[in-house]
């Protein structure tokens, strides 16, 4: 649970830092010429770099989110520039501002929840068509019926719900609420850095709009930060794809290789393997095999003693203990081995899958539910003088081979013979 919470917090952390940085910058009163010039070009610069980054990696959802935010920025920046230069707003400022307050949360929520499911070109055309239709209709109404549109937008439809604190048109609040609930539900179902960035970005937009004509450069700063959140989330997910195993959620082989290059002088490496996994897979199927791997990974991720688990490949996992001795690590490895051995896995029948979680829990707790259990073998090696991490890992792999030969379901240290593979409970006896 703690590790899951930490993972979710890591999803939000970059976006929250960008949001806080934007808030801090927006409240700075006296800016020198450098920052004034920077904030003037920053949104366009972020769009060009971030948009190019999203286009290269074919992330069209993120690209259109950034374009939507930039269009809102461009429309409002024209109004704020006129206000700063002339000390008064343009005649169309109110209707343009209200339209942005209505359409920005609507389009932001739409594009954020719209996942790529079709051919990329068709998907791009569909997104562009939606943006064009909304933009064309809004422009036509603004040009043809400005006063009627302004009255319709600014009308207070629900007096009982209107508060003195509301500085936007009443219609924009249900739009923001609907978009926020939609994106929160999306993150709850699929926790991802991108979905977290969308939520935080929507909050940034909601804070920004009422301050557009009040705080100088608020529009430039917050639009830039929201686009940066989206670009940073794309980079975060690219990193996860490269360094994190998709099936188990553990760091992958590449992450292990990088970690091994940064180990100190004292460390312990362990190799773990699921016993008889090929036979288990052939008997119960690959779906159950994947369930077993996720279980083992979940248990190994909770290793104590400062250890860190990695998916090495197939049914093999590696564990790294930095700054530890082998005597300090062995008890923690035994605890993990025992927890896997005693855990009963309830087999699921995909043809009779329950409709909700409550039915699933009742069915899994019933006497008719079939279950299996697995064991793991673990080999351990400690760094000695003039040994590289690769050599230590090779020694741990040899110790794993010895654990297999000792009857499996045991922990063996490098150099320990097969008769020395004594489990904790046997030693206690």
Residues with catalytic roles: 315
Where do runs of H (alpha helix) occur along 145-261? 146-154, 172-189, 193-208, 218-243, 253-260
First-to-final CA distance of the chain? 33
Tally of residues, the chain: 429
What angle separates helix 60-86 from helix 33-56, to the nearest 10 degrees?
160
Q: Which of 346, 363, 347, 365 shows the shortest CA–CA distance to 355?
A: 363
Q: How many CB atoms neighbour CB 74 within 10 A?
A: 14
Chain-centroid distance of CA 172 in Å reads 28
Q: Are 236 and 196 in contact (CB under 8 A)?
A: no
Spatial neighbors of 45 by CB under 8 A, at least 6 apart, are none
- Enumerate residues 6+ apart whose C-beta is below 8 A from 268: 320, 321, 324, 325, 326, 328, 329, 380, 381, 382, 383
Q: How far apart are CA 268 and CA 303, in angstroms?
A: 13
Strand-pair category, 376-382 with 345-346: unpaired
CB-count burial class (<10 Å; 0-12, 13-18, 19+) for 327: exposed
DSSP result, 129-170: HHHHHHHHHHHHHHHH-HHHHHHHHH--S-GGG--TT--S-T
Question: Is the separation of the CB atoms in 246 and 294 below 8 Å?
Answer: no
Residue 329 to residue 144: CA distance in whole angstroms: 76
d(CA 180, CA 174): 10
The SS3 of residue 143 is: helix
Q: Please state, in angstroms and as integers, the Cα–Cα distance from residue 410 to each residue in 76, 175, 365, following that order.
A: 67, 58, 30
For the record, the structure tokens of 43 come out as: 């949104």
């Amino acid at each position: 649970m703690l590790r899951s919470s930490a993972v979710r917090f890591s999803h939000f952390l970059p976006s929250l830092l960008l949001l806080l940085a934007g808030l801090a910058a927006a409240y700075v009163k006296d800016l020198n010429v450098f920052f004034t010039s920077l904030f003037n070009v920053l949104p366009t610069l972020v769009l060009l770099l971030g948009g190019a980054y999203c286009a290269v990696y074919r992330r069209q959802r993120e690209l259109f989110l950034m374009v939507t935010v930039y269009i809102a920025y461009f429309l409002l920046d024209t109004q704020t520039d006129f206000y700063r230069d002339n000390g008064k707003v343009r005649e169309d400022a109110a209707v343009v501002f209200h339209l942005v307050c209505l359409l920005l949360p609507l389009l932001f929520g739409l594009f954020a929840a719209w996942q790529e499911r079709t051919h990329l070109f068709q998907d791009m055309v569909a997104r562009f068509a939606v943006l064009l239709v909304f933009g064309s209709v809004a422009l036509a109404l603004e040009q043809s019926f400005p006063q009627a549109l302004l009255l319709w937008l600014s009308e207070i439809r629900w007096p009982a719900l209107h508060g003195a604190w509301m500085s936007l048109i009443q219609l924009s609040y249900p739009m923001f609420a609907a978009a926020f609930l939609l994106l929160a539900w999306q993150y709850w179902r699929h926790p991802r850095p991108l979905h977290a960035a969308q939520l935080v970005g929507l909050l940034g937009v909601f804070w920004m709009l009422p301050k557009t004509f009040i705080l100088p450069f608020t529009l430039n700063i917050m639009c830039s930060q929201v686009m940066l959140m989206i670009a940073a989330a794309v980079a975060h997910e690219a990193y996860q794809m490269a360094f994190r195993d998709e099936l188990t959620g553990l760091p992958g082989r590449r992450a292990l290789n990088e970690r091994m290059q940064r180990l100190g002088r004292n460390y312990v490496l362990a190799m773990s393997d699921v016993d008889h996994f090929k036979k288990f897979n052939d008997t119960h199927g690959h779906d159950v095999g994947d369930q077993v791997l996720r279980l083992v990974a979940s248990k190994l991720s909770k290793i104590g003693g400062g250890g860190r688990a990695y998916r090495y490949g197939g049914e093999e996992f590696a564990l790294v203990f930095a700054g530890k001795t082998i005597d300090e690590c062995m008890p923690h490895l035994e605890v993990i081995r025992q927890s896997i051995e005693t855990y009963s896995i309830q087999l699921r029948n995909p043809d009779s899958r329950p409709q909700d979680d409550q039915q699933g829990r009742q069915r899994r707790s019933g006497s008719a539910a079939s279950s299996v259990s697995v064991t793991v073998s673990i080999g351990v090696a400690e760094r000695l003088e003039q040994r590289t991490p690769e050599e230590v890992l090779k020694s741990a792999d040899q110790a794993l081979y010895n654990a297999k030969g000792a009857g499996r379901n045991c922990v063996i240290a490098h150099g320990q013979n097969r008769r020395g593979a004594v489990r904790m409970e046997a030693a206690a006896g």
